[in-house]
Amino acid sequence: MKIGLDVMGGDFAPTATIAGAISAYKDLSSDDQIVLIGDQHIIRKEIEDRGADPDAFDIEHAPDVIGMGEQPTRAIVQKPNSSIAYGFSLLKNKEIDAFASAGNSGAMVVGAIYSVNTIQGIIRPCTSAIIPQTNGGTSILLDVGTIPDPKPDVMYQFGILGSLYTKYIFGIDSPRVALVNIGEEEEKGNLLSQSSFSLMKNSKDFNFVGNIEGRDLLKGKADVFVCDGFTGNVLLKNMESMYRMLVKRNLTDDFIDRMNYENYGGTPLLGVNAPVIVGHGISKEQAIKNMILLARDVRSVRLSDKISKALTKYTQAADLGDN
């Protein structure tokens, strides 16, 4: 397996990305290869400065960088030799099996859609975040910013995507899917919440367990939390700030440690035809390492293929219902 890494993406690149790649290399099998994408001169120097061997990695020269503040679509088109655009070119041509970056997240979404395309039947791809549970379990929250204003049918597909991700990556046979809302009753919430509930409540595509309030997100009541990208991003950023505040005050335990985003590396872009991993812009060595390992895991279980198969059944059932 060849895992492509955008070396130039992220606030602490290329130092953190190279450090993470070297660390991940030690945990990968001999059948796995990390492909470092970026300025080859910078890459080689960073590897050598750390006492590692540049020849242990494949290096693809891509001298340009898409900045965090650049407009994604314009940047992808105007900078074909950037590490992100070139990485997607390699992925499209099957020269790498997965692609990961902590760079411009919008460019990662646009690049994925224009290169490997969305899975047939997917309306909009989305991203997720890991939410540790006080009972020791792990849940995911989606969407967390990719689609701030989705329609109910997109929210329904979030349930499918989250259920499949949780099943094949975390090994939960029948993941419980809950809709984030301001109350548990069916009639609670805004029009989006009410319409989404109506679609989900009789779902045969996932195990829907109803609405869930924000105060219950850490109590192990569901495995997948579905919400619009605006709400999800606010929740995620709030949890990140809470974690940093607790650590700063030297308040920590096993559960608080599990709130550290660096433990998880990033999120797959769910709903595209190849493994694409989007990392946090402030990722350091540990997060980069785990982002690479997540790319390996997503590719190993062939998550995109499983989503495609599930969406085929979903669209066929929808077509029968229309008839």
What would the pLDDT profile of 146-196 be if each residue is shown by its tens digit?
999 999 999 999 999 999 999 999 999 999 999 999 999 999 999 999 999
pLDDT band at 320 (very low <50, low <70, confident <90, very high): very low
Q: Residue 311: which pLDDT band, with cuts at 50, 70 and 90?
A: confident
pLDDT of residue 312: 83
What pLDDT score does 40 carry?
A: 97
Task: Give me the pLDDT at residue 313, please.
Answer: 73
Quote the pLDDT of residue 319. Answer: 53
Assign 57 a pLDDT band (cuts: 50, 70, 90).
very high
Give percent of the chain above pLDDT 70.
97
Where, residue-wise, is CATH 3.40.718.10 in the chain?
1-122+271-303, 124-262
What is the structure's pLDDT at 322? Answer: 53
Q: At what angle do helices 83-92 and 105-115 cross, to 10 degrees?
A: 30
Q: Which residues contact 77 (CB under 8 A, 6 or more apart)?
A: none
Q: Which CATH superfamily is domain 124-262 in?
A: Isopropylmalate Dehydrogenase (3.40.718.10)
What's the pLDDT tens digit per position in 70-110? 999 999 999 999 999 999 999 999 999 999 999 999 999 99
What does the alpha-carbon distance between residue 307 and residue 319 come to, in Å, rounded to a whole number?
18
Q: Which CATH class is domain 1-122+271-303?
A: alpha beta
Q: What is the DSSP string of 27-74?
A: TS-TT-EEEEEE-HHHHHHHHHHTT--GGGSEEEE--B---TTS-HHH
pLDDT (average), residues 16-45: 96
